Each structure stands twice: as C-alpha cells, then as structure tokens.
Amino acid sequence: MNVHSSTTMGIYNAYKKIKPELLKPVNLSDYRGKRAAVDIMCWLHKGIYSCGKELCLSMPTKKYVNYCMRFVNLLLQNDIVPIIVFDGADLPIKEATNNERKEKRSLALKRAKEYEANCDVKNALIYYSSAVDITPDLYIPLIKELIAHNISYIVAPYEADAELAYLSRMNLVDFVITIDSDLIAFGCSKILFDLNNQGAGFEFSRKDLFLSESLSFTQFTEEMALCFFILLGCDYLKNPKQWGWKRLFPIIEKGKTASQIIELVCERAHMDELCV
C-alpha cells in the first residue's frame, strides 16, 4: 500500500500523462525569494507512516510533526516564504467518499491488530498507518510549532485544494507545493510536485498545458480543461466508467461549454443525470 506517489492522489492518470510532456526537474534553490502555498495534508499523510501505531492507540508522539517541520525548514533554508494550508471541514458532497474511506480505515485497524497478534510487525505497522484518521486534533501540535517559528498558516473552510488554488490564482503566492494532481484542475498557475528531502521536485506550469500539441490542449479553454479533468476522475461525482483521455477529448472539443459537455457525456454514457 503506497500513498507516497503523486499518481495515487488526485485525478486518475493525470500526473502520469503530463509528467513526460510538461513537468520539468527543478530544485528549491530555483525559487529563492518566492512565496509558496504548501498542501500540508500531503506531508501529514507521509509523516504518519513513522508513527501510525502510536496515533491509532492514542500514544504520545511528535514524529509526524518533526517530519513536516523538516520540509518547512528546507523551504526556509532556501529563502522561500511558506504559507501552510490545512484541510477544514468535510465537504457534504463527498459524504459517500468519506464514508468509504472511514470503512477502509476501520478495516485497516482490524488487519493491523491481526498482524500484530501473529507477530508480523512489518505488516502491522503498514496497516496501522493506513488506519490513521487525520483530524484537526493532529493539527494542533504542528500549528504550535508553526507559530513558534513565525510561519503563516491557514485552516481552509473545507478542503485545502480550493484555498491553495485561490492563493495561486490571486497571485498571493508564486507556486503551490503538493503531490495532488487535483490542483491542476483547480487552475493553479505553478505547482511543485514530488518535493523530496534534497529539495528536488518537478514543476508544472499552467501556461505550458495550453501550448502542448502532444497532449492536444492547444484549442482548450479553461472551462474545457476543467470539465476534462473532472470527468477523468474525481471524488465529487460518479464518473462514467472506462472513460479515458482518448474517449473524452472529442467530447470536450465538440461540447465547448460545461452544459453542452455534460449533455454529450450523459447521452453517450447512457446516464440519466450527471451532477457536476
């Protein structure tokens, strides 16, 4: 079970498709003097892998906090001003998805205890980490560290994605740091994916998306691109099954607007209604 890869978070196959064409290797040193909005939930998800059992059993630990702060300090060492963005309340429209994730966490906890009872420590720790529910209670120790180091932070009203996109689109930050390809659909102008502890990552620049002839986005508007990425796969609606890039492109190009695209999708997928 691997949650460390960008391909596992966000829009289905989006990162895998755009990486060879649009993502360029960069280093944090390239961003000196810039402001970054940080999708801290990505670092939290990675950080809990070092202390999943402790968190599941309510044992004291700061390992996940230390993990996040190592990356925050990496930004500071490169003269980058971070703005840390946390998730807020659950979105009502994602109730079904959140319930499914809750069931998976419950099952993971059960499996963890079973492996532990059989002295399989390795698998027990993997499943303990998968069972952790990242709640606002886990934010508090990290927020205290951020305050102590005079680091700005925001708790979004709902999910962090929209807040990160707002900061980017309003030019309040120069780039966004995440492993979540949803931020492409949200319209962020510049995204740093897959930042590692050496300061290396891959940069996505939105202007390059609409210049890409190989990905066929040259005739797309922002509205068309948004519809395309949503229909590829997201948590907000039941997407047409087995609809990939090749099948969606002619529909998006023909439809042009969101309402016409939805009408075409419903017609061709034989769906009574598609709520976007």
Domains of the chain: 6-209 (3.40.50.1010), 222-269 (no CATH)
pLDDT at site 6? 42
Assess whether pLDDT exceeds 90 at residue 62. Answer: yes
Residue labelled with tokens 């986005």: 217
Return the amino acid letter for 210: F
Mean local confidence (pLDDT), 110-119? 96
Phi, psi of 25 (to 5 degrees): -65, 135
The span from the CA of 164 to the CA of 84, in Å, is 9
166: tokens are 């707002």
Strand pairing report for 35-39 and 175-178:
parallel
Tell me how far apart the alpha carbons of residues 236 and 95 are, in angstroms, rounded to a whole number: 9
For residue 101, give the 3-state DSSP assignment: helix
Share of the chain above pLDDT 70, in %: 90
Q: How far apart are CA 74 and CA 184, in angstroms?
A: 24
The C-alpha torsion from 13 through 169 and 171 to 37, rounded to 10°, is -50
> What average pLDDT does this structure show over 53-61?
95
Q: Which pLDDT score, from 0 to 100, does residue 41 have? A: 96
Give burial (CB, 10 Å; 0-12/13-18/19+) of 229. buried
Question: Considering only 9-23, 76-90, 124-138, 199-213, which range has the smallest mean pLDDT?
Answer: 9-23
Token pair for 82: 């971070």
The predicted structure's pLDDT at residue 159: 92
Q: What is the pTM of this model?
A: 0.88
Query: Residue 253 and residue 217: Cα distance in Å, rounded?
Result: 10
CA dist list (Å): 57 to 24, 48, 62: 41, 13, 14
Name the strands in the sheet holding 152-155, side by side, starting at the edge strand that comes first in the sequence.
24-27, 200-205, 190-193, 175-178, 35-39, 81-86, 152-155
DSSP-derived 3-state class of residue 26: strand
Q: If pLDDT is split at 50, 70 and 90, which confidence band does 116 have?
A: very high
